[in-house]
Amino acid sequence: MSDIRKAVLAYSGGLDTSVILKWLQDTYRCEVVTFTADLGQGEELEAARPKALKFGIAPENIYIEDLREEFVRDYVFPMFRANTVYEGEYLLGTSIARPLIAKRMIEIANLTGAEAVAHGATGKGNDQVRFELGAYALRPDIRIIAPWREWDLLSREKLLAYAERHDIPVEMKHRQGGSPYSMDANLLHISYEGRHLEDPAAEAEESMWRWTVSPEAAPDAAEYLDLEFEKGDLVAINGRRMPADALLALLNQLGGKHGIGRIDLVENRYVGMKSRGCYETPGGTILLPAHRAIESITLDREVAHLKDDLMPRYASLIYNGYWWSPERLALQTLIDHTQQSVNGWVRVKLYKGNVIVVGRDSKTDSLFDSTIATFEDDAGAYDQKDAGGFIKLNALRMRIAANLASRKR
């Protein structure tokens, strides 16, 4: 008999988590609280409610919550303040969603008196690490139930057979094999892994992509956007101010229309293996160069370079599940401090898979001084004679070394 009386399950209502719900009831003999988060995955999540009710979950123990604005405002945007990219390509769409889910699961566990949280991440992937590091950071005594590390239902066929035995409703797409890919979606991205993509030499099928047209099929006419930033965060598109989640949703729509945001990469998972995945991140792919563009005129050179030095470490912390760690929080404090002057607008051109920055300005915080930078007569704003001493002093160590080398010859 398990000493766990109640567990909070991250529940989508799909095949895996529906099997997990029943398995928890049978294996742990515990009361289950289901938590379904709307992060903008574009699915009808209320369908999870009748499925949970069917297996005896009390109505007050079914949590279906719209977290879209919090997700973009408090997780996606802070990450983009750092211009975060993992291994040069990945915009961390899956990674950044996990700390919010972990936080809300712990909050629900505290509200309902649950001793444990359960998730459907496999023992091969990064998500198990992200969920559990977050849970432990926020509640050190929490118990973790990870069925994929415990049960023997390690194939789709075994999951379907278990569902059949226990009268778990299975959608036709699962019976027929469903999508050939393992997919994860939220407002920042949609990811594809598995099956055909497990051969890194095989090109992804065009029919796989859900959010973006191919660059070849994108409109022949370019589209211009004016993006307004305040303290490093996007606040308006073409003069229209909207909540954070609405802004990202609009960027996704516009980027997808122009074939922007597809990547195909092999990444290094935290657990040690390499994994091939394809991602669609149209809004993020527009936001990243636009944010760098407004920083280019509002950030001091050495501050900008320091941010670039720190970014790979910050990206690895998010990818590996350390959002709630003291080092990530410390880095965030520094990053946010740098963004106080990152105010202004950027104009981008969207064209056939490309995001092209064509203009940027800040009325209040621009460090670009045209009277100094001009190629025309600067009326004495910059004394070019000063450059000689500057260069000679910076060459001093190399001159000393060269003199020493010549004496040794």
The residue type at 74: D
37 assigned to a ligand binding site:
yes
279 assigned to a ligand binding site:
yes
User: What tokens were used for 186?
Assistant: 């939220």
178 assigned to a ligand binding site:
no
90 assigned to a ligand binding site:
yes
Catalytic pick from 2, 182, 296, 325?
182
CB atoms within 10 A of CB 19: 22
2 assigned to a ligand binding site:
no
Taking the C-alpha atoms of residue 301 and residue 269, their distance in angstroms, rounded to an integer, is 33
Catalytic pick from 16, 38, 233, 245?
16
Burial (CB < 10 A; 0-12, 13-18, 19+), residue 394, is: exposed
Helical (H) or strand (E) element with 32? strand 31-38
In angstroms, the Cα distances linking 198 to 179, 202, 372 are 14, 8, 54
126 assigned to a ligand binding site:
yes
152 assigned to a ligand binding site:
no
The residue type at 325: S
36 assigned to a ligand binding site:
no
Q: What is the DSSP string of 275-338?
A: EEEEEE-HHHHHHHHHHHHHHHHHS-HHHHHHHHHHHHHHHHHHHTT-TTSHHHHHHHHHHHHH
370 assigned to a ligand binding site:
no
333 assigned to a ligand binding site:
no
38 assigned to a ligand binding site:
no
Q: Is 16 a catalytic residue?
A: yes
125 assigned to a ligand binding site:
no
167 assigned to a ligand binding site:
no
Taking the C-alpha atoms of residue 8 and residue 112, their distance in angstroms, rounded to an integer, is 9
Taking the C-alpha atoms of residue 144 and residue 136, their distance in angstroms, rounded to an integer, is 9
Taking the C-alpha atoms of residue 101 and residue 138, their distance in angstroms, rounded to an integer, is 12
Query: Phi then psi for 195, rounded to 5 degrees?
Result: 45, -120
95 assigned to a ligand binding site:
yes
146 assigned to a ligand binding site:
no
Q: Is 165 a catalytic residue?
A: no
Catalytic pick from 68, 81, 98, 328?
98
Catalytic pick from 127, 184, 233, 245?
127
Q: Which residues are annotated as a binding site for L-aspartate?
A: 122, 126-127
Q: Which residues are annotated as a binding site for L-citrulline?
A: 90, 95, 126, 130, 182, 191, 267, 279
Question: Among all residues, which ones are annotated catalytic?
Answer: 16, 98, 127, 182
Q: Which residues are annotated as a binding site for ATP?
A: 10-18, 37, 120
Q: Which residues are annotated as a binding site?
A: 10-18, 37, 90, 95, 120, 122, 126-127, 130, 182, 191, 267, 279
